[in-house]
Structure 1
Amino acid sequence: MTRVMLLDSASLYFRAFYGVPDTVTAPDGMPVNAVRGFTDMVSTLITRYRPTDFVACLDYDWRPAFRVALLPSYKAHRVEYTTGSGTPDVEVVPDLLEPQVPVLLAVLKAAGLCSVGADGFEADDVIATLAHRYDERGVEVDVVSGDRDLIDLTTERVRVLYTGKGISNIVAFTPEEVQAQYGVPAGHYADFAMLRGDPSDGLPGVAGIGAKTAATVVAQFGTIEQIVAAAKSGDKAMSSSVRVKVLASLDYLAVAPAVVRGRLDVPVDELTTAIPATPADPEMLAALGERFGISSAMERLTTALAKVAGHG
């Protein structure tokens, strides 16, 4: 059976950067903690969950203009102002992490593991598009991320492996787990988040509606669009308190769905995603290991590939 693992790459390499001491350095002194940590995470994930296929999804635009135009507060706390125009234009990335990103992408390429991004879109959108594509084809999918927004993608075939508590404490979100933890049906986590708000993404939410009420309202009425329609129509099933709060936030709720939901129409071509039994470029992988002093991590990745492909 085909099982595709879709990796939220930035989520993992940020976690690796903060989780592995920056005393892990290359022979020339360059920190490589994110490279080693990320590589070991990939090895662990494919060994533990044994996907047949793998895609590392990338942020080509971590704060897309179409989302900022709709909701200027979107991820605003993560930016720097460098142009003097008052327009946020640069993601805050630690100085010691930035030069490591091309290296870990080179590791993926040498290993023969697929990576892809799309101009103008976040990794979340690439993941949402691919998850939907594979789900429609009857393919099992594992989405790996520390971003709760992707829990919205959960279906009977799409499982979200949430890494917010670390690789050793992954929570596997199935439809049953989404219902158990949040009290909402699979596919409605985004509606829940829009009502409750999410400071990590700059989502204000609906004033006066917390997690418990948000879950109750979503479970009762469904999508944000259906909730707004019920409030506007005076649906007697909706409490007057909730109705007043929803009606007071109509401007926000009109744009929130397009901001929060992952796009399903990202232009991603058909990909070569099968996990190889051996690295695509073993010499390059070995050279990267030696150059950056992380040969043991390259060896662990090579071993993981062989095991998952049934050769070890």
Structure 2
Amino acid sequence: MREYQVRAADGTRIVGWQTESEGPVVLLCAGLGTFPEAWPAFLLPSSGVRVLSWYHRGTMGSDRPADESRITLADHVADALAVLDDAGVQRCVVMGWSTGVMVAAELTLRHPDRVSGLLLAGGVPGDLFGAVLGVLPLPAPIRRRLVVGGALAVRAAGPLLDPLLRLLPVNRLTATALQRSGFMLPGADPGDVARAVRRFLSRDWRWYLTLALALAEVPERDLAGIGCPVTVLAARYDAVADPRRTARSVACLPQARVRVVPTSHFVPLEAPRAIAEELTALVARVAAVEQARGDLLTEDSRPRA
């Protein structure tokens, strides 16, 4: 994996990263402030795909925009396009996880010519905070107020939390305890979890919550216009993104496949094999669809007798 710099449409310097594997290109729209270590299945040379991604504005070395209000969903979509353009990729499969599901879905809706296939894992395409704690028997508006209020409180406490969280011991023992907390589940390698948590806790929490709250007003999205093959990986025990919401959002699509996996929200760590399997199958579906479209165009271009 290597990192490099990309200039966004508004001039913001963002840090992109890509794997060096051979295979079709996949654009990864990751969750806010996440990093390559959260995707062990993609960092292996045997992954079969070349992954392009980036770090969100103000995280992991990417600059904050000069205008700090430029952290909307449209800005994240523009950054995704900047990564594709910098790599010279006109069209590819796009994958989203967590808040990245919103970016991947929005990119597909706004720029269908750039997306050949779509994989959505552990996230919802809109109404981010309304999907949190969907496992609880509470009306969505009440859950949304609770979550937004909690996010505002944590953001206010950010300057106090940052030094405290950096002092927490993160090792295989604490990672194993976290995996049995219910927030995460067993399944991932504790070493992978420890590396991911260690980097996650080192962030600027005030800015991280600012990024999340900037997406709070994005409404639930209607995906009916999407025409490319779509796969959804819904996490059965996801406390962060109600899996039923994502499944419903693609129910109207003729080329949609839904697979439920027995994981928490952290599908990339807990079910890397399922992600690899579904991504491989999606790439094959996309190739078949593109071939069929090409055959139809060739047939239509032939002179008629």
The TM-score, its normalising length taken from structure 2, stands at 0.28
- The structure whose residues are more often strand, as a share, is 2
The TM-score, its normalising length taken from structure 1, stands at 0.28
Q: Which has the larger radius of gyration?
A: 1
- The structure whose residues are more often helix, as a share, is 1
